[in-house]
Chains A and B, each alone.
Chain A
Amino acid sequence: MNPATPRTTAWKRLTEAARRSQFEKVSDIPAPYGFATRVAARALSMPPTSAGPFFVAKLTLRGLCVAGLLAIVSVTINLGPILRNIDKAAGDLGGTSIEAVEVENNTEVPAQP
C-alpha cells in the first residue's frame, strides 16, 4: 500500500483510534416509548400517495430533457440558414433606415425605375 495515502498515515491512525470508542451497540436499542405509535399515527393521518404522480413526474422530467436536447440539435442544424436570414433581414432594415433618414431630412427619395 502506498505509504503516502492518508489511510496509512495520520487519518488511518486517527480512525483506528476512533473505532475503539464505538462500544455502543445500537442493534438492540428499541424505539423510545411511544415513538412508533406517534409516528404510525402521524403517517396514517396523511392522505395516501400512489406511485402515479411519481412516474408522471419522472416522465415529465425526462420529456423536458428530450425537448431541451431537440431544441439544441435543431438550433445547431439550422444555425447557417438562421444566420443568413438574420443577415438578409439586417440588410433590409439598413435600406429602410436610409429611406427613413432621407424622409426625415425632407430629401426626395429617387423614384424607382
Chain B
Amino acid sequence: MPADPDAPFDIARCLERVRARDQEAARELVEHLYPLVIRIVRSHLPRRVPEEDLAQEVFMKMFTRLGQYQGAMPLSHWVSRIAVTTCIDHLRAQKRRPEFRWADLSETEAEVLDSVITNENDVAAGDAFAARELVHRLLDQLKPEDRMVIQLLDLEQKTLAEISALTGWNTTLIKVRAFRARRKLRKFFQELKKEERS
C-alpha cells in the first residue's frame, strides 16, 4: 500500500528500514533531506563544483556514516554538519583563492562597490544580483571556515546557536572566526578605497 503523502515523515522508521538495506526507504530519506542539503550546498558552493555532484557526495557520506548516528541530535543537524564539512573540504581543496581586482569587475559590480565604499549612494534594488556576486567574490578571499561563519551570520542572518547546531563549532570559536573574517574584510575595504582614490 503506498504511503500517505500528507502523513508526517517518520524518520526513525525510515532509518530503521535503511539500516535493513531497504532501497525504497533510502530513496525516501534522500528526497526528504534534499531541500536541506541543497540549501547548504547552494549557499556555500565552491566555484567549478556542480551542485548536484556536491549534494550526491553529501548523501553518500551520510549513508556511509549512518552506523555512527546514535540519535543524540536531530538527523537534520547531523546531515547539516556533513554538508557543511563537505563544502569546507571542497573550498579548502581550491588551494588558490581567486584574486580580487577592480579590473575584473563588471560595470554594475564596480558601481555597486564604489557606492558601498564611498557611502554616497544607496545600492539600487536592481543591483542586488551584482551585490550578491560581489559578496561572493569577497568571501572567496577568506579562509573556508571564516567564510562559512561570516556568510551564515551576515548573509543568512543566523544566530550563534543556529550556526553552532549547523556546524558543530562552539560559540566562542564562531565569534573568533567572525572577528577574524570581519577584520580581514575591513582591511580589504580599506585597500580597495586606497586603490580607488589612486
Taking beta carbons and an 8 Å cutoff, which residues of A are in contact with B?
4-7, 9-22, 26-32, 35-44, 46, 48-51, 54
Q: Does B78 contact A (CB under 8 A)?
A: no
Which residues of chain B from 36 to 86 have any CB-CB distance to chain A below 8 Å in the complex?
Answer: 38-39, 42, 52, 55-56, 59-60, 63-65, 67-68, 70
Number of interface residues of B (CB under 8 A): 50
Query: Can you give 16 contacting A-B residue pairs, CB < 8 Å?
Result: A5-B182, A11-B189, A13-B122, A14-B135, A17-B123, A17-B128, A18-B128, A22-B132, A26-B42, A32-B52, A35-B55, A35-B56, A36-B31, A39-B59, A43-B59, A46-B64
Do A27 and B27 have beta carbons less than 8 Å apart?
Answer: no
The answer on a CB contact under 8 Å between A11 and B182 is yes
Q: How many residue pairs between the two chains, A and B, have CB atoms under 8 Å in the bound complex?
A: 134
**Which B residues fall within an 8 A CB radius of A?**
19, 21, 23-24, 26-31, 34-35, 38-39, 42, 52, 55-56, 59-60, 63-65, 67-68, 70, 112-113, 115-117, 119, 122-123, 125, 127-129, 131-132, 134-135, 138, 154-155, 157, 182, 185-186, 189
* B29 contacts across to A, CB distance below 8 A: 40
A21 to B14, CA, bound (A): 36
Q: How far is the CA of A15 from the CA of B23 in the complex (A)?
A: 43
Taken together as a complex, chains A and B put the C-alpha atoms of A50 and B46 apart, in Å, by 31
Smallest distance from the beta carbon of B27 to chain A beta carbons, Å? 4
Chief secondary structure at chain A's binding surface: helix
> Contact at B182–A19, with CB atoms within 8 Å?
no
Q: Are B23 and A40 in contact (CB under 8 A)?
A: yes
B150 → A minimal CB distance (Å): 9
**B119 near A13 (CB under 8 angstroms)?**
yes
| B131 → A minimal CB distance (Å) | 4
A6 touches B52 (CB 8 A): no
Q: How far is the CA of A44 from the CA of B42 in the complex (A)?
A: 26
A35 touches B67 (CB 8 A): no
Q: How far is the CA of A29 from the CA of B112 in the complex (A)?
A: 31
